[in-house]
């Protein structure tokens, strides 16, 4: 019995494809193309988030090894694909451009300091950078959202269209027997199956990626607050 069911399941797909009409085949091909794009985006975003997580952890460890805020920035190095480094680097650039210099006869060197107004500008820069990095991580998710919401409806459209053609042909021929109607109905239902096969993995991937992006956003916010606090402790001077 199991062998018969297995053989029937294996031959169902090509049989349904042969019996499907032009609209049904077009919709199935469209869903296959959409599925390819969906899986490629999920793979790309998974690689991006995995790389970003590793680089973020390495950068945070390196940042905590130094007492000075600008030590890493003065090395003039860049870490591509690391959201925390981008926030840090832009924040340091903005801070350096706004630092004021204090010099006196008693001191052999000039000391740089920041005011409350300066730190407010730097904090807004950090907030803007956090938002930009979050948008970079979220790029491409719109296609997953479209696949989750749109693929079942595209499949349903193919099913309704196919059933409509089947019953219209049966009415014109005056023959509504099972052998006449069943092949067309089966091929029409195949578009709904195709739509669900696209939507279900897209939904799982979308929810997982959204969760990871929320975690990244929280980490970016926390690091921006920590960085601003370190800058204030090192450079802030009340006027």
pLDDT of residue 88: 92
Q: Is the pLDDT of residue 112 over 80?
A: no
Q: Is the pLDDT of residue 8 over 50?
A: no
Q: How confident is the model at residue 2 (pLDDT cuts 50, 70, 90)?
A: very low
Q: Please give the backbone phi and psi of residue 45, each rounded to the nearest 5 degrees, phi first.
A: -70, -35
pLDDT of residue 175: 65
Helix, strand, coil proportions of the chain in percent (round to 5)?
A: 80, 5, 15
pLDDT of residue 3: 36
Q: Is the pLDDT of residue 7 over 50?
A: no
Q: How confident is the model at residue 97 (pLDDT cuts 50, 70, 90)?
A: confident
Which H helix or E strand runs over 102? Answer: strand 100-102
pLDDT of residue 108: 44
pTM for the predicted model, two decimal places = 0.74
Of the two residues 223 and 11, the one the predictor is more confident about is 223
pLDDT of residue 224: 93
Q: How confident is the model at residue 4 (pLDDT cuts 50, 70, 90)?
A: very low
Maximum separation of any 2 CA atoms in the chain, in Å: 108
Helix 178-235 and helix 83-98, axial crossing angle in degrees, nearest 10: 30
Buried b (16+ CB within 10 A) or exposed e, 174-195: eeeeeeebebbbbbbbbbbbbb
Q: How confident is the model at residue 130 (pLDDT cuts 50, 70, 90)?
A: very high
- Which residues touch 86 (CB under 8 Å, ≥6 apart)? 129, 132, 133
Q: Is the pLDDT of residue 199 over 80?
A: yes
List Cα–Cα distances, 180 to 169, 171, 194, 234, in angstroms: 9, 11, 23, 83
Mean pLDDT of the region 193-214: 89
For a pLDDT cut of 70, what percent of the chain falls above it? Answer: 83
Q: Cα(46)–Cα(52) distance, rounded to whole angstroms?
A: 10
Of 14-23, 40-49, 94-103, the range with the lowest mean pLDDT is 14-23
Of the two residues 53 and 186, the one the predictor is more confident about is 53
pLDDT of residue 96: 87
pLDDT of residue 165: 76
| Domain residue ranges in the chain | 20-235
pLDDT of residue 106: 47
Of the two residues 169 and 106, the one the predictor is more confident about is 169
Q: Is the pLDDT of residue 104 over 70?
A: no
């Amino acid at each position: 019995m199991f062998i018969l069911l297995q053989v029937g399941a294996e031959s169902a797909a090509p049989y349904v494809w042969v019996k499907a009409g032009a609209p049904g085949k077009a919709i199935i091909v469209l869903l296959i193309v959409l599925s390819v794009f969906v899986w490629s985006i999920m793979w790309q975003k998974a690689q991006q988030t995995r790389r970003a997580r590793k680089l973020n952890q390495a950068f945070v460890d390196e940042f905590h090894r130094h007492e000075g805020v600008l030590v890493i920035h003065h090395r003039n190095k860049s870490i591509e694909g690391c959201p925390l480094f981008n926030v840090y680097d832009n924040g340091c650039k903005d801070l350096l451009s706004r630092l004021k210099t204090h010099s006196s006869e008693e001191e052999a060197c000039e000391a740089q300091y920041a005011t409350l107004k300066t730190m407010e500008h730097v904090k807004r820069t950090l907030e803007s950078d956090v938002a930009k990095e979050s948008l970079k991580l979220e790029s491409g998710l719109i296609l997953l959202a479209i696949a989750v919401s749109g693929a079942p409806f595209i499949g349903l459209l193919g099913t309704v269209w196919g059933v409509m053609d089947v019953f219209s042909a049966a009415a014109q021929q005056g023959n509504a027997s099972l052998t006449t109607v069943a092949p067309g109905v089966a091929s029409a239902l195949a578009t709904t199956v195709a739509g669900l096969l696209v939507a279900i993995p897209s939904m799982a991937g979308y929810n997982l990626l959204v969760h990871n992006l929320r975690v990244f956003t929280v980490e970016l916010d926390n690091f921006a607050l920590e960085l601003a606090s370190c800058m204030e402790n090192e450079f802030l001077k009340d006027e």
